[in-house]
Amino acid sequence: MIRDNRAGAANRPRGFVKVGFRVPDVGAVADRVEAALGERPRVVEFEAHGVRILQLSDPEGNKIQLTSPMPKPE
């Protein structure tokens, strides 16, 4: 679970804001989402951290963040 404890006057929720899972390959998950919904979700690469992230919302609006290692260069 990912918690936002920052103080401030920002107009957004505080507390637990998303659930995160590490998966073998977020690209494969994005492929499955595209096949099911007809639209491919965006996969973001964070090279400095060596990870790829895919963030989805469930039907109730809860954020689900999936992370996988970036592929090794060939």
Strand-pairing partners, residue 16, are: 3
Give the pLDDT of the chain (74 residues) as one tens digit per residue: 555 666 665 665 555 567 889 999 999 999 999 999 999 999 999 999 999 999 998 887 888 999 999 987 77
**CB-CB contact of 69 with 28 (8 Å):** no
Q: Is the pTM of this model over 0.75?
A: no
| Alpha carbons 68 and 74: distance in angstroms, whole number | 18
With respect to residue 52, please indicate whether it lies within any of the assigned structural domains.
yes
Domain that holds residue 38: 16-69
With respect to residue 4, please indicate whether it lies within any of the assigned structural domains.
no
CATH number of the domain to which 35 belongs: 3.10.180.10
With respect to residue 22, please indicate whether it lies within any of the assigned structural domains.
yes
